[in-house]
Structure 1
Amino acid sequence: MERSNVTLVLEFILLGFGDLPNYQHLLFGIFLVIYLCILIGNGLLMVITKTNPALQTPMYFFLGHFSFLEICYTSVTFPRMLKDLWTQKGNIPFLSCAMQICFLYILGAAECLLLAVMAYDRYVAICKPLYYPLIMNHRVCVQLVIASWITGTPVQIGLTYQIFSLNFCGPNKLNHIFCDAPPLLEVACGDTYQKELSVHFTALFFVMIPFLLISVSYIKILATILKLPTTSRKSKAFSTCSSHLMVVGLFYGSASIVYLRPKSSHSVKSDKVFSLFYTIVTPMLNPLIYSLRNKDVIAAIRKILQRCCDS
């Protein structure tokens, strides 16, 4: 009886920055500082939006939850990446890889939806200011946040199951910094066309539909702002939206390039760079963008720092 030589993959090897062997510990130091900045910056935003009386509005309620989401999102990939850089070993068990992808996609979908919710909040505040307290009451805000967290969960769990139901019979080396669908589909055995379509369709749904909602919201916001009588009111309305637009541009731009561009145009180095943008750079810049461009946030941070110095 003939036996087919099939190797069962029990773990994957993340190559990460293996092409830079002499800089592993330097990269570890750089990324450790970045991770601490993400934790401290977003954690500080969470604290001030929760405790400062001047920031008890729907906009800052969503910002606090968005900061918490950013911490969770980076914590899915960052600790293991730091471990791999320090030990210079990228071994990750099969189940751990599946869990990493599942949580990464669930939190990524939640981030897309929450960004759309934040755009809707700005739309109501600027276009329907008289009805704003009625429409965006606390109950509605809580429901929108919960919907952002749970809407994508069943779909992303199903997508993860589809990806890991493929046959992985070797090789098991992923030329990436964390487990993700594109490098996994490259090392899978057999026909992966349908799985690739599922990945692209899911990304299209959770990236493009919220992006379209954001675009429609800001088109209406822009039309309303242009009708405002004074320049000061126009600049104030623009300033409340500019921070959100910058975060949207960074996150959606890099994520769209990775997941929505054709397979033929993919390159390993560019995928790593853009993956760093939406998993590291955006969460790191989020507190800076919102604090440097917001007088209320700056005032709240100064109060906290003053209390710390006094104590």
Structure 2
Amino acid sequence: MPETPKKLTIATRASRLALWQAEHVRDRLQELYPLCEVGLLTMTTRGDQILDRSLSKVGGKGLFVKELETALLDGRADLAVHSLKDVPVDLHSPFALSVVLERDDPRDAFVSNGYGSMDELPAGAVVGTSSLRREAQIRQRHPGLVVQPLRGNLDTRLGKLDRGDYAAIILAAAGLRRLGLEARIRGYLPVEQSLPAAGQGALGIEVLEARADMHAWLAPLADPATTACALAERAVSRVLGGSCQVPLAAYAQVQGGTLAVDALVAEPDGSVIIRARAAGPVADAAALGERVAQDLLAKGARPILDRLSMPDASA
């Protein structure tokens, strides 16, 4: 390992959840390297600024990382901390996903002030969600509900619920738990009912691929099981060209020495949901993800992917 770092700067979005995530990594690094000064560079990304349109209509999740990558390029920051599900699967040179940290709860959470579960919601009730993946699965299981877009940071979304704009909202459980808001969760959606997004609940650290020193310093933060799951899930998304325009889910679990991968592609209205599953050795994580993706294509996912990925598909 190279000489112990003296000073490191973490690029992060300015939202409360993003700051918690960056501070978590900062604290882990300071435990590893007590003499290192670890600071934060807070930034507002384009994804944070555009709140009147869904991500699928404004460029996708990559909008949350571009400004942070600029800070890595110009030397203002040494590493960037992301929610892994926000990191594009086709990350190109000169950037690299250096490590994936241990995953928190990957499930979606049901949050409501008046109802205890999805099944309690009456026909016509308005449910807010930021993701086409969640929307398609909700529409299939609960066709009588009205699903509407929900943008903004976590506090903004909860505020819209409290204001009465929605009967319920669906959020990632991990974000609520990290901010000490677990009491807001009325229930967890089983993965069989709401298959998570690739990387949901995990944190990823991005650096310049040429920074061998950073890769070595960060290596102790990596969680092997979560890394294997992330490799499989992101392989599914990469093969299918996954984007915010497509309802796509991928979720892997390690059980003993076996990795099981589940994935789906859906029509946004939930009228069609195509599922696939594969299991095998943990060492074959990426290949398992690719196999599941090919299975989805063989089952008829290609027409859905092609149509929804067209430039005017979400216009």
Q: TM-score, normalised by structure 1?
A: 0.29
> Which gives a bigger RCO, structure 1 or 2 (Cα 8 Å, sep 6+)?
1
Larger % of strand: which? 2
Structure number with larger C-alpha Rg: 1
Larger % of helix: which? 1
Q: TM-score, normalised by structure 2?
A: 0.28
